[in-house]
Amino acid sequence: MAMVPQPLLILLFFLSLLSIVNSSPSQHIQIVDAERRIDLTSHIIKVYLTLKVENLGTSAASEVLLTFSPAEVEHLALLKAAATSGKRKKKTYVPLDVKSAEQPDGPNGTKFFSITLLTPLSKGETTTLEVLYILTRSLEPFPVEISQSEPQLVYFRDSAILLSPYHVKQQTTFLKTPSTRVESFTVVDPTKRAGTELKYGPYENHPPYSYSPVLVHFENNNPFAVVEELEREIEISHWGSIQVTERYSLVHAGAQHKGVFSRVEYQTRPGGTGVSSFKHLLAKLPPRVHSVYYRDGIGNISSSHLRTDSRKSELEIEPRYPLFGGWKATFVIGYGLPLQDFLFESPDGRRYLNFTFGCPLVETVVDKLIVKVVLPEGSKDPTAEIPFEVKQHLEIKYSYLDVVGRTVVVLEKRNVVPEHNTRFQVYYGFNPIFMLAEPLMLVSAFFLLFVTSVAYLHIDLSIRK
C-alpha cells in the first residue's frame, strides 16, 4: 500500500475543515453585533449574550444557531433565548424555542443549539436576540488547597472571541469579577480593565469558528454551595394538607481546606479567617408554611430562624459546624402546607398539583435532584407537565392503612440551578369514594375489636365439675 506524503495529508485536513465551515447551515446569516456579559461574582456563571443577526441570503431563515465547546456543553445548566423589540424601558421580550440541533458536530467537537425564530428572517432583515446561558462547576480553584486564613483564588477559561458558526462583524466581551483583586488575565488587544470589569474588544470581522483562549485568575470568596443529591418528597393528603420532606447532601465545592481548623480563631476574627467558608444557609419556602423542622443524623438542630408573611417564608439555618472546602453536611428539612393553596381541579374533572420545582436553598447548585410526588391512594392516570426536560417514572409507596399503595410520580434532573425554580403540574384522576377507605377500615377494626371483646366476656371458659 502506497504511503501518502505528509504535505498532502495537511492539505487534505485543511480542505476538510474548510468544507465543514462552508457546508454548515445558514451561511448567509451574519452577526452584525455581538455583546457578551459574563457574571463571575458567584460560583454559578451567568452569560448574557445580545446578538444582532442579519440575513444576507436570498431565502428566508427560520432559525439561528448557537455554538458551544464540549467543556461548556458538559457544564451547561440552562439555555434560553428571547426576541427583543423597542429600546430601553419600552423594550419587549418574546421567548423563543431553543433545542439541541440535530446535525453533525462542528470543528473540535463543538455542539450546536437551534433558536427558532417567531417569523422567518427575509433577505436584508435584521433581528435582535437576547440569550441567557448558565454554567456550573466552571471555576477551577487554584491553589487547589488553602488554609483557614487564606482567600480563595479561581481560574476561569473562555475565549475573547465569540465561538459562532457565522461571520461576526463586531463583538465585545465583558467579564465582571466579585472584587478588584485579579491576579492575572490574558491580554488580547484591545483589552481594558476598570475596577471589577474586564473588557475584551471591540473586535471586527472574525470568520466562523474563530477562537482566542483567555485565562483569568481572580479572588472569589463566595460560598461554593453544591448539593450533591437532593430528594424532595411531596405527599398529598385530601384531608387538608401537603407534607414536604427534603433530604440534603451538601458539600463545599471550593478549594480544599488544609491544616487544622481553629474555632477560636474563626469566631474571634470573622472577617480575617475562613472568608471562603459558610455557616448560614437561606431556604425560601412557600407562604403559609407550618410545622417546620430541621434536623441531621444526630437529631434536631435548634439553630434556625423562620420568617413568614402572606407572600413568602424564609428559613435561615445554621449547620452544626462551618463548611470549608471539601467539607460535607447532611440534613433534613420538613414542613406542612395548606392543601387549598396548591391542589386544584381542572376543567376535565382531574385534580392537579401546582408546585415549585428546584431547590429552595439560595444560590445553590444541585448535581442530582429527585422530586417525588406521592398521590393519594386510589389515584390513577398521573401525568406531569414540566417546562424543561426531566426523567420521569412511577413508583408505589405503602403508608399507614394503605391496601393497594400510593402512586408516586418521580421526576429526576441533573445540574439544577436557581433559575429552574419554576412551577410544574402533576395531573391525576381520583374517585372521592376512596377517601372513605381509611375511615371505614378504622371503624371496621374498632367494630371487630368490640365484637371480639363482647364475645370474650360472654364465653364461659371455666371447667365445671
CA separation for the pair 214, 204 (Å, rounded): 18
Torsion angle (degrees, nearest 10) of CA 235, 237, 241, 244? -10
CA separation for the pair 174, 56 (Å, rounded): 28
Sole residue written with cell 398529598 = 236
In this structure, what DSSP letter does residue 39 have? E
| HSE of 126, CA atoms in CB hemisphere, 13 A | 10
Compute the average pLDDT of residues 273-281: 89
pLDDT of residue 52: 95
pLDDT of residue 125: 92
421 DSSP β-pair partners = none
CA separation for the pair 437, 401 (Å, rounded): 9
Compute the average pLDDT of residues 1-27: 44
pLDDT of residue 436: 60
CATH number (3.30.70.1290, 3.40.50.720, 3.20.10.10, 2.60.40.1730) of 225-439 reads 2.60.40.1730
The DSSP element (H or E) to which 445 belongs, if any, is: helix 437-458
pLDDT by residue (tens digit) across 234-264? 999 988 899 999 999 999 999 999 988 888 8
Q: How far is CA 180 from the centre of its chain?
A: 28
> How is residue 68 written as a grid cell?
458551544
More confident residue, 367 or 463: 367
pLDDT of residue 187: 96
| Amino acid occupying residue 137 | R
pLDDT of residue 70: 92
Q: How many residues can be counted in the chain?
A: 465
pLDDT by residue (tens digit) across 23-37? 444 458 999 999 999
Percent of the chain with pLDDT over 90: 66
pLDDT of residue 437: 63
More confident residue, 196 or 262: 196
More confident residue, 432 or 43: 43
Give 435's pLDDT tier (boundaries 50, 70, 90).
Answer: low
Give 449's pLDDT tier (boundaries 50, 70, 90).
Answer: confident
CB 72 within 8 A of CB 49: no
Residue 104 has pLDDT above 90, yes or no: no
Nearest Cα neighbor of 164 from 215, 112, 98, 116 is 112
**Phi, psi at residue 277, to the nearest 5°?**
-85, 170
CA separation for the pair 297, 300 (Å, rounded): 9
Name every residue whose Cβ is closer than 8 Å to that of residue 287 and which is 6 or more positions away in sequence: 308, 309, 310, 311, 312, 313, 341
CB 361 within 8 A of CB 319: no
Name every residue whose Cβ is closer than 8 Å to that of residue 100 and which is 6 or more positions away in sequence: 111, 112, 113, 114
Average per-residue pLDDT in the chain? Answer: 88
Please state the pTM of the whole predicted model.
Answer: 0.86
pLDDT by residue (tens digit) across 133-180? 999 999 999 999 999 989 999 999 999 999 999 999 999 999 999 999
pLDDT by residue (tens digit) across 227-236? 999 999 999 9
> How is residue 347 written as a grid cell?
376543567
Q: Are strands 225-237 and 365-374 parallel, antiparallel or unpaired?
A: parallel
The DSSP element (H or E) to which 455 belongs, if any, is: helix 437-458
Give 12's pLDDT tier (boundaries 50, 70, 90).
Answer: very low
Residue 416 has pLDDT above 90, yes or no: yes
What is the chain's Cα-based Rg?
Answer: 29
* Beta strands, E only, 297-350: 304-308, 313-317, 328-338, 343-345
Equal fold, 29-219 vs 225-439: yes
Rounded to 5°, the CA angle 114-120-122 comes to 125
Query: What are the sequence ranges of the domains in the chain?
Result: 29-219, 225-439
Residue 102 has pLDDT above 90, yes or no: no
DSSP result, 126-176? EEEEEEEEEE-S--EESSSEE-TTSPPEEEEEEESS---SSEEEEEEEEEE
Rounded to 5°, the CA angle 293-294-299 comes to 110
CB 218 within 8 A of CB 151: no
Window from 238-252, 286-300, 354-368 with minimum mean pLDDT: 286-300
pLDDT of residue 314: 95
Residue 312 has pLDDT above 50, yes or no: yes
Sole residue written with cell 433577505 = 123
CA separation for the pair 391, 151 (Å, rounded): 39
pLDDT of residue 463: 66
CATH number (2.70.70.10, 3.40.50.2300, 3.30.420.130, 2.60.40.1730) of 29-219 reads 2.60.40.1730
pLDDT of residue 311: 86
pLDDT of residue 462: 67
pLDDT by residue (tens digit) across 201-217? 999 999 999 999 999 99
Q: Is 206 exposed, middle or buried (0-12, 13-18, 19+ CB in 10 A)?
A: buried
